[in-house]
Amino acid sequence: MIPIRDSAPSRTFPAVNLSLVALNVWAFIREIIMGPGLDKFLFRWGLVPLRYAKAGMLAKLGAKLYYGPFLTSMFLHGGWMHIISNMWVLLIFGDNVEDRLGHARYLFFYLLAGVAAGLTQIWFSRYSPVPTIGASGAIAGVMGAYFLLYPMARVTVMVPLFIFFPTFEAPAFLFLGLWLWSQISSGLSLAGAGEVGGVAWWAHVGGFLSGALLLALFLPSRRQRAA
C-alpha cells in the first residue's frame, strides 16, 4: 500500500520538514557524483551493526566515526526509489507532526527517533556487516507520532495490482497500524539474519515505537501552544 495524501490540515509552514527533505536530496546528489568511492563512504558513515559488536572500536575509530554514523546514516540513501519513497512519506506525515510539536521540537524529535531506530537495528542485527542507511527510521518515528496525534485522519492509499492502481481511504490508525505490523512480521521472518533486500525492518519498528513514546516529551502544553 502506498500513501498518496492525508486529510489532516497543517496550520503552519513546515519549514523544518521541507529543510529535512532538501538536506536528504542534497546528500543524495553528493552520493551520485561521488563515483567509485561511494561504497567506502557508505561503509564509513552508514551505521554498521558489527562495528558496535566489537570491543575497542571506539578507541580504534575515534568518537567522530563511532558516534557520527548515528546521525549521518539518516541522510544517506541507496538509490532513487529509496530516497523518493522516504521523502514522499515524510512530506505526507511530517508537516502535521511539525505543526503540533513546533519547529525546534520537531527537529530534535526527528533526530532522536532516528537514533533510537538505529540502536534498535543494531540490537537485532548486531553481527551484520551491512551499513544501515536511510531516513526511514526517523520517518517511522514521525509516523508513530502521527498515529497518536491524528488517528482518525483519512489517508488515501494506492494498491498496485499488476496494471491496475485502485485507491481507497482508510483511517490513519488502520493504515499505520497495518504498516507497523508488516514491519514486525518481516523482521520476525528474518530469524536473526539481519537485513534482507536492503531493508532494516527493526529500524522501522524501533523508530515507530520510539516516536510514539517520545511524543509526550515533545508535545507542547496548551499554554505553550497558545503563546
Domain range holding 59? 2-226
Segment 198-219, tens digit of pLDDT: 678 899 999 999 999 999 999 9
Nearest CA to 6 out of 164, 195, 173 is that of 173
pLDDT of residue 194: 45
Question: Distance between CA atoms of 93 and 57, rounded to whole angstroms?
Answer: 37
Q: Answer whether residue 224 shows pLDDT above 80.
A: no
Question: What burial letters (b/e) apply to 154-190, b meaning 16+ CB within 10 Å?
Answer: ebbbeeeeeeeeeeeebebbebbeebbeebbebbeee
pLDDT of residue 164: 80
> Where would I find the H helices in 33-102?
38-45, 49-53, 57-61, 63-67, 69-72, 80-101
Give me the phi and psi of 198, to 5 degrees please.
75, 10
DSSP 3-state of 156: strand
Q: Answer whether residue 162 shows pLDDT above 90.
A: no
In the chain, the N- to C-terminal Cα span, in Å, equals 39
Segment 32-78, tens digit of pLDDT: 999 888 999 999 999 999 999 888 889 889 999 999 999 999 999 98
Describe the strand order of the beta sheet including 167-171 as a list of residue ranges.
Answer: 2-6, 154-158, 167-171
CATH number of the domain that residue 28 is part of? 1.20.1540.10
Q: How many domains does the chain have?
A: 1
On whether the CB atoms of residues 130 and 48 are closer than 8 A, the answer is yes
Segment 3-27, tens digit of pLDDT: 999 999 999 999 999 999 999 999 9
Using a pLDDT cut of 90, give the percent of the chain over it.
Answer: 74
Q: Where does residue 78 rank: exposed (0-12), middle (13-18), buried (19+ CB within 10 A)?
A: middle
Which is higher by pLDDT, 202 or 189? 202
Segment 129-138, tens digit of pLDDT: 999 999 999 9
From the CB of residue 72, how many other CB atoms can be counted at a distance below 10 Å? 18
Q: Answer whether residue 223 shows pLDDT above 80.
A: no
Question: Distance between CA atoms of 137 and 195, rounded to whole angstroms?
Answer: 14
pLDDT of residue 196: 45
On whether the CB atoms of residues 199 and 187 are closer than 8 A, the answer is no
